[in-house]
Amino acid sequence: MEIKNTAGEGHIVIEIVGSLDSTNVSQAEEKIIPFITDKACMVLDMGKCNYVSSAGLRLLLMIAKQLAAKGGWLSLVGVCDDVKDVMEMTGFSCFFKTYNTLPEAFEALKKGGMAKC
Amino acid sequence: MLRVDLHPTHVSKCGRYKLRPGKPLPFGATIVPGGVNFSIYSHAATSCELVLFEKHAPEPCANISFPEEFRIGNVFSMVVFDLDYENIEYGFRMDGPWNPQEGHRFDKSKILMDPYAKVISGRDVWGAQPDWKDIFQHRSRICFDDFDWEDDHPLEVPVEDLIIYEMHVRGFSRHASSGVKHPGTFAGIMEKLPYLKKLGVSCVELMPIHEFDEFENSRVSPVTGKLLMNYWGYSNVGFFAPRAGFAATGKFGMQVDEVKNLVKQLHKNGIEVILDVVFNHTAEGNERGPYISYRGIDNKTYYILTPDGYYFNFSGCGNTLNCNNPIVRNMILDCLRYWAADYHVDGFRFDLASILGRDQNGAPMSSPPLLESLAFDPVLGKCKLIAEAWDAGGLYQVGSFPAWGRWAEWNGKYRDDLRKFLKGEAGMAGAMAQRLQGSPDLYGWERRGSTASVNFITCHDGFTLMDMVSYNGKHNEANGENNSDGSNDNYSWNCGWEGDSTDPNVNKLRRKQMKNAVAMLLVSQGTPMILAGDEFGNTQFGNNNAYCQDNEISWVDWSLLNSNKEIFEFFRKMIAFRRAHPVLRSSGHFQNRDYMGSGFADITWHGTKAWNADWSGEAQTLAFMLCGKHAKGGKAQDNNIYVAMNMHWEMRGFELPKLPKSQAWYVFANTDARAPQDIWEVGEEKKLENQSEFLVGSRSVVVLIGK
Amino acid sequence: MSQLTLPAKLENLDSMIKFIMDEADALGFDKKNKFHIRLSAEEILVNIINYAYPKNTGDIRITLNPKEKESLEIEIVDWGFAFNPLLREEPKTCLPLEEREIGGLGVFLTRKVMDDVRYRRDGDCNIMTLTKKIAP
Amino acid sequence: MESKYSVNIQGDVAKIELSGRLDAVNAPAFQEELKKLSGSSLKSIVFFAKDLEYISSAGLRAIIFAKQKCGVQSQVYLVGATEAVLGVIKMSGLDTFMHIQDTYGE
């Protein structure tokens, strides 16, 4: 697993590469937590993440909840079909907004912000 | 808060694992800061070893003995630090005496599953041939016990207001016709949620979903050449773990979350979940059975044994769980509390529950401590407790199951009497009167009320509704036991032809008989239960004991929903009718008097002449009227409802009881009429032209409302 | 009356549509009207799925009130932020295709094909009510 | 009927066959497919819609998208659309920007 912070249209974009499971969740958590700041809009780019285990899903949910508590939010991008399936069947999908591509996510974030006003 | 007990005190012999003494409670494996707490009970073991495997590895990666100072009382407990809790499988080795006459069967060579395992791997994908050489077949795993329930809560619908729908998780959506993305799984049920909502049932009862081994006693049918499996699953490997093979995510080990999500989504739609639980025996069988867990951990504690150390077989499945041993009793309580608290399950149906009332020698007790504990348990306080009030050892307790006002029963007498009446047996009016009003003859003496009675005509065990009107005898040849298995007392009638028929008259009568059955079921006091698939005439081709048939015999065939739309519509509208009319759903029994000053008693009996039911030995008719002012013991307001049943082969005129001036009779259902005139939507009933008499067709049921 | 609650996810759209269309079938709507019911239900549901819950997702509750031989009333509820799609500016259907803004068509079509479309905010939920009459 | 679409580019003509439904569930994938068209200077985009049972605004958006990708010079044809589909196209004013015909001659 590898975590990269890339810039993207004023949002925090974090790319997760490889698999996210119990062997590396605490590492991932350490790296991501500093980005959870007030009103942060975080986009996790999972396009290169091929597997998310139960522990990994829990980390994602934890991030989403912490962001929400600070008035921000989390979107997932490029989640592969297998992981999407598991998220759907176990109910994790109910807590995330998912998009196919980064531009789609940015577009939605823009609209979400607008509609809110 | 900083804790001072988070640091290892010991190192395992191999030097790889850091340890410290664990907490004896709770039993099982619990994630604690920095590690995992393992705790297991054995009274007679002399030593215990924790065995760790990497996921799916053939050989263990570690054997860690519990140091003697880690034992408190009869419990071995230990914290192991820095485990990869997601990828580890664990078991135990127990050393102790080998002395079968005394009840001890310790064998240090066996690796044993944790009786409190909350996730069990080894049979992760249904039907995948296991590796029989694997030294550890059913492997305990560590469970994430968190789940975001948000504001979910068990629904606590009064039991008399429920309409239960019994289903087999796999059979419900496995058939190719189901059209779901994940056939045969918990996720598949979720995909059928819109269907369940349409049908209107308010509770699903899942046949066993605890981990079991579908390959237990698997064999090939000599008749069909198909693999016969333990399909029903009334044979627990573990009590705390959901069946991995029923989960679409089982291969990822995420079955726990999948089940919880199913419960959450069902609750959101007002549908309760009842689990069929099997505490009467385990999958370890008798003396010749395998070592899975209990036998090697403390045989004498877990099983009821004969004086010379053999297994009693009150379950018909080789062994009998020692339910009234205090250790086992606590395990059962822990287990049910866990399902109620962690899975938000709304209730339980106990398979062969009479065994739960036998003492440690197998004799029935008058106040069995386990049943009493369950009735008064604080966590289970609002859970439905439903007993299958008999066992395979000959104990039949319908009406006499120890209840403490808490237990309901599968009412086997309801099923039998209703079937007899339906097929035209004479002289059933008296018995029917009891069944229709919640069986006060069975449950009135202890003031248990109609809530004690779970009414059903069909369940997983026996004919489906379609088969009940299509077969006189069982046809279990495919089970490979020369048709000797399964019940012979079916009280079924084939309507003139054995099996599938092309005769339109036979088929018409069958449809009518199915409608008659469900109409009677849904106007009866008590809690109705429907078998999944009956609402569109699902068939098992005459097999009345399909426990081993993981194939089209058992799987619900959804294509019948199209061909039998008329049956489905009748079910749907009858269910809506029951839900709309509280007078059908009293918790207490009727008092047979007018305590509301309405001019009518709460229930009155009629026949071809109003106010004159035929109670004779020849009777094949019965009618009754429920007074709407007495609904829910007078607490609710409802219409008057009149039901006429004519099970004679000729039509009969029924004189209608006269209503107060402002009201008139409207017909809601008439099974003799051709669909769609056989039943109306609630609120759109048709006013009768003739308010004084109704000509009820041969073998027909008519439901009227007065408004 | 029948009711269904599902998470507001695109994966559930088919289930929700089927739930509604089964009722439309049962009421005997003709092909064209069924097309219109499907269209407007999809538009409103997709709108909620895409926009009602920008931060996470929540539920959609569909309630069907069929009146035999009269009409089908579809009530769609979400608990997302207050948003009245009926107040959206109508798309400029007269602009050349190249200059059209993509979007806004759904609600426009819904209003065209249904007999009655209403929005109200009740407490913390948005309630859309769509009614289609059965042609005599 | 199964929902399918196929995009074929022959010279300066793009032929697109549609069947089943074009709705919010499958339109995004279709739109993705239509990206193939961008940049190519097409003379005409032809939608064969004989077997198209249903279209929602998501589908309409995909058509608008196709046109926008290809620029002013390209003509849009809609061939064999059913009355119901045509109804929606007309309501949304798309009919004025495309040639609606029963058949398409080479």
> DSSP characters for chain C?
-EEEEEES-GGGHHHHHHHHHHHHHHHT--HHHHHHHHHHHHHHHHHIIIII-SSS--EEEEEEEEETTTEEEEEEEE-SS---GGGSPPP-TTS-GGGPPS--HHHHHHHHHSSEEEEEEETTEEEEEEEEEPP-
| Closest chain A C-alpha to B254 CA, distance in angstroms | 7
Nearest Cα to Cα of residue B292 among B142, B127, B105: B105
- Cα–Cα distance for residue pair B600/B607, rounded to 1 Å: 16
Considering only the beta carbons, identify the residue of B191, B681, B684 that sits closest to C15. B191
pLDDT, tens only, B580-601: 999 999 999 999 999 999 999 9
- Cα–Cα distance for residue pair B112/B76, rounded to 1 Å: 14
**pLDDT value at B322 more than 60:** yes
Judging contacts by C-beta atoms under 8 Å, the chain D residues touching residue C31 are 84
**pLDDT value at B690 more than 60:** yes
pTM, whole model, 2 decimals?
A: 0.90
pLDDT, tens only, B166-210: 999 999 999 999 999 999 999 999 999 999 999 999 999 999 999
Specify the range with the lowest mean pLDDT, choosing from B406-415, B430-439, B517-526, D6-15. Answer: D6-15
Q: Taking residues A14-32, what's their average pLDDT?
A: 90
- Cα–Cα distance for residue pair B542/D30, rounded to 1 Å: 49
Residue D62 is predicted with a pLDDT of 85
Residue A114 is predicted with a pLDDT of 39
Reply yes or no: is the peptide bond before residue B369 cis, omega within 30 of 0. Answer: no
Q: What are phi and psi of C12, to 5 degrees?
A: -90, -5
Reply yes or no: is the peptide bond before residue B676 cis, omega within 30 of 0. Answer: yes
**pLDDT value at C97 more than 60:** no
Judging contacts by C-beta atoms under 8 Å, the chain B residues touching residue A63 are none
Confidence of residue B455 (pLDDT cuts 50, 70, 90): very high
Considering only the beta carbons, identify the residue of C4, C59, C66 that sits closest to B197. C4
- Cα–Cα distance for residue pair B206/B262, rounded to 1 Å: 12
- Residue B360 or residue B238, greater confidence: B238
The pLDDT mean for chain C works out to 86
pLDDT, tens only, B149-176: 999 999 999 999 999 999 999 999 999 9
Delineate the domains of chain C, giving CATH numbers in brackets: 2-133 (3.30.565.10)
**For an interface test with C, which of B150, B173, B195, B199 has the most C Cβ atoms less than 10 Å from its Cβ?**
B195
- Cα–Cα distance for residue pair B674/D87, rounded to 1 Å: 39
Residue D7 is predicted with a pLDDT of 86
Nearest Cα to Cα of residue B312 among B217, B395, B397, B392: B392
Furthest-apart CA atoms within chain D: distance in Å: 34
Contact C2 B198 (CB under 8 A): yes
For residues A74 and A44, is the Cβ–Cβ distance under 8 A? yes
Reply yes or no: is the peptide bond before residue B60 cis, omega within 30 of 0. Answer: no
Considering only the beta carbons, identify the residue of C5, C22, C68 that sits closest to B269. C5
**pLDDT value at B415 more than 90:** yes
Residue C10 is predicted with a pLDDT of 86
Contact D57 C109 (CB under 8 A): yes
Furthest-apart CA atoms within chain B: distance in Å: 92
The DSSP code for B159 is: G
Residue C112 is predicted with a pLDDT of 87
Question: Which residue in chain C has the smallest CA separation from B199?
Answer: C2
- The letter for the amino acid at C106 is G
Q: Given CATH 3.30.750.24, say whether it is the number of domain A2-112.
A: yes
* Active-site option among B89, B214, B272, B351: B351
3-state helix, strand, coil in chain B (%, to 5): 25, 20, 55
For residues B287 and B311, is the Cβ–Cβ distance under 8 A? yes
| Closest chain A C-alpha to C83 CA, distance in angstroms | 8
Percentage of the residues of chain B whose pLDDT score is greater than 90:
91
For residues B46 and B37, is the Cβ–Cβ distance under 8 A? no
Considering only the beta carbons, identify the residue of A23, A86, A92 that sits closest to B84. A23
- The letter for the amino acid at D76 is V
Residue C101 is predicted with a pLDDT of 55
The DSSP code for B114 is: -
Delineate the domains of chain D, giving CATH numbers in brackets: 4-101 (3.30.750.24)
**pLDDT value at B408 more than 90:** yes
CA distances from C95 to B141, B679, C101 (A): 63, 54, 9
CA distances from B91 to A108, B115, B328 (A): 49, 10, 19
Considering only the beta carbons, identify the residue of D57, D71, D84 that sits closest to C43. D57
What's the number of CA atoms in the CB half-sphere (13 Å) around residue B428? Answer: 24
Q: Does the CA dihedral B41-B43-B48-B52 come out positive or negative?
A: negative
CA distances from B502 to B255, B465, B535, B568 (A): 44, 18, 21, 21
Contact A55 B182 (CB under 8 A): no
pLDDT, tens only, A58-72: 999 999 999 988 888
- The letter for the amino acid at B419 is R
* Active-site option among B388, B409, B535, B678: B388
D38 touches chain C (CB under 8 A): no
- Cα–Cα distance for residue pair D13/B522, rounded to 1 Å: 64
Q: What is the dihedral of CA B221, B225, B231, B237, to 10 degrees?
A: 70
For residues C16 and B192, is the Cβ–Cβ distance under 8 A? no
Token pair belonging to B409: 């029963």
- Cα–Cα distance for residue pair B604/B592, rounded to 1 Å: 7
3-state helix, strand, coil in chain D (%, to 5): 35, 35, 30
Which residues 58-97 of D have a C-beta within 8 angstroms of C? 58, 60-61, 64-65, 67-68, 71-72, 76, 83-84, 87-88, 91-94, 97
The pLDDT mean for chain B works out to 95
Delineate the domains of chain B, giving CATH numbers in brackets: 10-141 (2.60.40.10), 161-583 (3.20.20.80), 591-706 (2.60.40.1180)
- The letter for the amino acid at B178 is S
Token pair belonging to B473: 């005898």
- The letter for the amino acid at B497 is W
Which residues 44-63 of C have a C-beta within 8 angstroms of A? 50-51, 53-57
Is this prediction's ipTM beyond 0.95?
no
For residues B348 and B311, is the Cβ–Cβ distance under 8 A? no
Which residues 425-454 of B have a C-beta within 8 angstroms of C? none
Considering only the beta carbons, identify the residue of C11, C56, C83 that sits closest to A97. C56
Three-class SS state of D12: coil
Specify the range with the lowest mean pLDDT, choosing from B261-270, B354-363, D96-105. Answer: D96-105
Token pair belonging to B619: 């009777």
Count of beta carbons in the 10 Å neighbourhood of residue C10: 14
Contact A85 B248 (CB under 8 A): yes
Question: Active site includes B160?
Answer: no
**For an interface test with A, which of B261, B262, B263, B267 has the most A Cβ atoms less than 10 Å from its Cβ?**
B261
Question: Which residue in chain B has the smallest CA separation from C64?
Answer: B198
pLDDT, tens only, B5-49: 888 999 998 889 999 999 999 999 999 988 999 999 999 999 999
Three-class SS state of B333: helix
Q: Which pairing describes strands B47-54 and B88-95: parallel, antiparallel, or unpaired?
A: antiparallel
Confidence of residue A115 (pLDDT cuts 50, 70, 90): very low
- The letter for the amino acid at D89 is I
Q: What are phi and psi of B243, to 5 degrees?
A: -65, 110
Contact D56 C39 (CB under 8 A): yes
Three-class SS state of B29: strand
Contact A95 B148 (CB under 8 A): yes
- Cα–Cα distance for residue pair B519/B512, rounded to 1 Å: 10
> What element of type H or E holds B686?
strand B686-687
Confidence of residue C44 (pLDDT cuts 50, 70, 90): very high
Q: What are phi and psi of C33, to 5 degrees?
A: -65, -35
Which residues 31-60 of A have a C-beta within 8 angstroms of B? 53-55, 58
Specify the range with the lowest mean pLDDT, choosing from A6-15, B462-471, C69-78. Answer: A6-15
C19 touches chain B (CB under 8 A): yes
Judging contacts by C-beta atoms under 8 Å, the chain C residues touching residue B679 are none
Question: Active site includes B146?
Answer: no
Contact C14 D25 (CB under 8 A): yes
Residue A117 is predicted with a pLDDT of 26
Percentage of the residues of chain D whose pLDDT score is greater than 90:
23
**pLDDT value at C53 more than 80:** yes
Residue B343 is predicted with a pLDDT of 98
Residue B319 is predicted with a pLDDT of 93
Residue A8 is predicted with a pLDDT of 60
Confidence of residue D92 (pLDDT cuts 50, 70, 90): confident
Q: How many CB pairs under 8 A join B and C?
A: 29
Residue C90 is predicted with a pLDDT of 66
B264 touches chain A (CB under 8 A): yes
Considering only the beta carbons, identify the residue of C38, C43, C109 that sits closest to D91. C109
The pLDDT mean for chain D works out to 85
Q: Which pairing describes strands B527-531 and B164-167: parallel, antiparallel, or unpaired?
A: parallel
